[in-house]
Structure 1
Amino acid sequence: MQQPERYRGRFAPSPSGPLHAGSLVAALGSYLDARAHQGEWLVRIDDIDPPREIPGAADTILKQLEAHGLEWDGSVVWQSQQSERYAAALSTLNTAQLCYYCHCTRAQIKARGTYYDGHCRHLQLSSKGTAVRLINRSPICRFHDRFHGLVNSDPQQAAEDFLLRRRDQLWAYQLAVVCDDRAAGITDIVRGEDLLHASAWQLTLWQVFNDIHLDDTQAPLPRLAHLPLVVDASGRKLSKQNHAPALSLQTPLANLRSAAQALGLPGAASTEAANIEEYLAWAIDAWRQHKK
């Protein structure tokens, strides 16, 4: 893969709750990777799912990042303000005859099998009360991850005609994230490994946009690096759904030490640092030596 001239990374939390220990690991990993490559680190709030959003969570997340010294470049981007971008991309796919309307519910899909079977692809349904799916003709099933090596996705899952817009007319995550990453010129995506296999769909859609010359651009596929997940005592992933406690703003240095340990940085717990600035400087250098 051709290496980009300028590194641009991002952290893109959803405002479904404040950051917890697991999400700090993702934030810190993406931040350190960007700074170790002397690149830019952007922040985007992925707020395209209003039913799951918690009022005030986005502001809390930004305050938590600031309290931990994770300063971003440029202005914060809000997905809720990008609807025109998504609509234009969907229109271009429609013109290229690469999407279709689907009325299937989750229960109907599950009753027919493990994966969506393309049931509506040739039904020529109307837009009323339907979702929109990609005609997935050239799925990417194998890709390279910097930390996981060659990743082989389930070929049936990778080949699904995945959602671009939901039946409730909200934008699907795959469409929004790919549109925004391309628009921002993102070259490197560093995030939790719970999104590892979703990468197959996102890379596929990214390549489709290149093939149809969306916005007259040819954006190189991003480099990927998926970080280890943080789990609780019972082995469950720390998440907002599992009611993981919010990060304390009173102990940012201790929080950073724990996150750096979870990232596998040697000496993360023992290195001496008088403040957050010194600790992050050490962590950037340690990342450059051991992870870059």
Structure 2
Amino acid sequence: MYEMLDIAHVVADLSNVTGEVGTIPVTGTPDVTGTTRAMRTPVVGRFAPTPSGRMHLGNVYAMLAAWLSARAADGRIILRIEDIDQPRVLPDADRWIMDDLTWLGLTWDGEPVYQSQRLDRYADAIRMLSTLSSSTSCSPSVSSATVTADHLTFRTNAIYPCFCSRSDIRAASAPQEGDGFVVYPGTCRRLLQHNPDETRARLEHGDQHSLRLFAPNRNVQFTDRVFGSQTFNLAHDLGDTVIRRADGIVSYQLAVTVDDLDMGVTDVVRGRDLLRSTALQLYIREQLIASGWLADNNCDDSDDSDDRDLSERSDSTVASASVDEVSDNAFVEVSAATSVGVPSFAHLPLIDNAAGKRLAKRQRSLDMGVLRARGVSAHRVIGYCAWLLGLLAQPEPCAARDLIDHFSWERLAANRSDRRVPDDPFADFVGSDDAGAH
């Protein structure tokens, strides 16, 4: 049995009349015999592909890891088609993805869930986040100005409108060292704080704007199964983040957080490029729950009663990442604890091509359509991805189900470096090894 939940537990001291919240961190790994309530929570993983093209080898590698993580714990897998960014969606790509997953033996449970059918749910989340008071959204030392428009309340310490273009942001910002990530400089937050009348006038005039979520000066800490302990400061490492774009499309960060909460997801597996995003999603999750999100009994828009039950049962688990608030004068611990279990996270090393660049769907040589047309078997693809995950000593053909009993995160955690694959890793094996595998 592998580590099912290794995020530090945090318990809130709700009796503290001063308004400061204490924390009691519980270190170490829960007992694998299942003696804790958290360990008895059913494991729910998810596939979350974007239907912008055919799956490539890197996608299969990540989905195999997610599938094995859930199945090794006798858990369930939800298939969520992340088609919210309609301009990127390729017609029929969702069907190609489902066909490839079936061919590979990576089954899922229940009917697929489409983000494009959950837009009202995301709008509800934005409305609820906009109602948060300053005491729940940030340090009391941060002053708040308020403007009401479009049935939303905009605050400098919650959600506010941003009129900046990308060029405006680039001109006012410096990228983070290393990965080029740009932290928003807070231009429109300061506009709302110092000149709310101008913000109101621009909204009434119909100026195009996105919506941003204020990032307080707080550290978010979580333990990743592969990359270990992680700490990100919301203000310094992420900044105020767009949750609805100027074209009206809800951001990935908000949508995935809402979906994981609603669907009772307990097991998140994805690429290491999303480590930073995990901190933001944990914060959004905390804020949604603080706003009363799970008090709504209609947590799942699907007809799958099992999914609804899992979402409703998730509130019996006490588990959370640690969130620390940093003031100008002191380092003060505060709690991100809720009555809802925080998922376990595993972020995978990335898969690069022969040139050392991350695999992309535009690189057709390693997409499933091309590989299947060439006669590469499903078992060969699974075996190669299992080797990339450190589960096999050599890239040998095998079925996904044959890996379940031997699955562990330990080997991958021991080698966190990104993988590099040749342009044609199957050149010597097409039709030569497992012709009977489909």
Task: Name the TM-score, length of structure 2 as normaliser.
Answer: 0.61
- Which residue of structure 2 aligns with residue 57 of structure 1? 93
- Which residue of structure 2 aligns with residue 276 of structure 1? none
| Residue 286, structure 1, aligned to residue 406, structure 2 | yes
Counterpart-to-counterpart distance in 2, 1:222 and 1:138: 23
Pick one of 227, 233, 236 that aligns with 2:348: 227
Pick one of 63, 66, 73 that aligns with 1:27: 63
| Residue 106, structure 1, aligned to residue 166, structure 2 | yes
Counterpart-to-counterpart distance in 2, 1:213 and 1:138: 23
Q: Which consecutive aligned stretches of 4+ in structure 1 deviate over 4 angstroms post-superposition?
A: 154-157, 241-244, 288-292
Counterpart-to-counterpart distance in 1, 2:87 and 2:400: 36
Q: Could you say what secondary structure the match of 2:352 adopts? A: coil
Counterpart-to-counterpart distance in 1, 2:409 and 2:256: 30
Counterpart-to-counterpart distance in 1, 2:394 and 2:267: 24
Q: Could you say what secondary structure the match of 1:152 adopts? A: strand
Please state how far the C-alpha of 1:168 moved relative to its aligned partner: 0.7
Alignment of 1:1-292 (within 5 A): 1=8, 3-4=38-39, 5-96=41-132, 97=155, 98-114=158-174, 115-121=183-189, 122-123=191-192, 124=196, 125=199, 126=203, 128=206, 129-137=208-216, 139-153=218-232, 156-216=235-295, 218-242=339-363, 245-247=366-368, 248-249=371-372, 250=375, 251-267=377-393, 269-270=395-396, 273=398, 279-288=399-408, 290=410
Higher mean Cα deviation, 174-183 or 112-121?
A: 112-121
Counterpart-to-counterpart distance in 1, 2:221 and 2:408: 27
Please state how far the C-alpha of 1:193 moved relative to its aligned partner: 1.4
Counterpart-to-counterpart distance in 1, 2:161 and 2:350: 35
Higher mean Cα deviation, 176-185 or 194-203?
A: 194-203
Please state how far the C-alpha of 1:214 moved relative to its aligned partner: 1.4
Please state how far the C-alpha of 1:290 moved relative to its aligned partner: 4.9
RMSD over equivalenced CA pairs, Å = 2.2
Q: Which amino acid aligns with 2:187?
A: H
Q: Could you say what secondary structure the match of 2:77 adopts? A: strand
Q: Could you say what secondary structure the match of 2:97 adopts? A: helix
Counterpart-to-counterpart distance in 2, 1:208 and 1:11: 25
Q: Tell me the matched-pair count.
A: 286
| Residues 28-77 of structure 1: per-residue CA shift (max 9 Å, x gap) | 00000000111111110000111111111111011100010111011100
From the superposition, tell whether residues 139 and 243 of structure 1 become closer, same or farther in structure 2 (CA, over 3 Å).
farther
Which segments of 5 or more consecutive residues in structure 2 lack a partner in the other structure?
1-7, 10-37, 133-154, 175-182, 296-314, 316-338, 413-438
Q: Could you say what secondary structure the match of 1:107 adopts? A: helix
Q: Could you say what secondary structure the match of 2:366 adopts? A: coil
Q: Which amino acid aligns with 2:402?
A: W
From the superposition, tell whether residues 14 and 142 of structure 1 become closer, same or farther in structure 2 (CA, over 3 Å).
same
- Which residue of structure 1 aligns with residue 144 of structure 2? none
Q: Which amino acid aligns with 2:117?
A: Q
Counterpart-to-counterpart distance in 1, 2:56 and 2:365: 6
Higher mean Cα deviation, 80-89 or 240-249?
A: 240-249
Q: Do the aligned residues in 1 keep the contact of 2:70 with 2:76 (CA within 8 Å)?
A: yes
From the superposition, tell whether residues 289 and 227 of structure 1 become closer, same or farther in structure 2 (CA, over 3 Å).
closer
Q: Which amino acid aligns with 1:107?
A: S
Higher mean Cα deviation, 156-165 or 172-181?
A: 156-165
- Which residue of structure 1 aligns with residue 331 of structure 2? none
Which segments of 5 or more consecutive residues in structure 1 lack a partner in the other structure?
274-278
From the superposition, tell whether residues 113 and 242 of structure 1 become closer, same or farther in structure 2 (CA, over 3 Å).
farther
| Residues 153-193 of structure 1: per-residue CA shift (max 9 Å, x gap) | 36655451101100011111111000001000001101111
| Residues 70-125 of structure 1: per-residue CA shift (max 9 Å, x gap) | 11011100000000100101011112252111111111111111320221124243
Please state how far the C-alpha of 1:267 moved relative to its aligned partner: 3.8
Q: Which amino acid aligns with 2:281?
A: Q
Q: Which amino acid aligns with 1:239?
A: A
Q: Could you say what secondary structure the match of 1:150 adopts? A: strand
From the superposition, tell whether residues 244 and 270 of structure 1 become closer, same or farther in structure 2 (CA, over 3 Å).
closer
Q: Do the aligned residues in 1 keep the contact of 2:44 with 2:78 (CA within 8 Å)?
A: yes
Task: Name the TM-score, length of structure 1 as normaliser.
Answer: 0.90
Which fold has the larger relative contact order, with Cα–Cα distance below 8 Å and residues 6 or more apart in sequence? Answer: 1
From the superposition, tell whether residues 116 and 243 of structure 1 become closer, same or farther in structure 2 (CA, over 3 Å).
farther
Counterpart-to-counterpart distance in 1, 2:51 and 2:162: 28
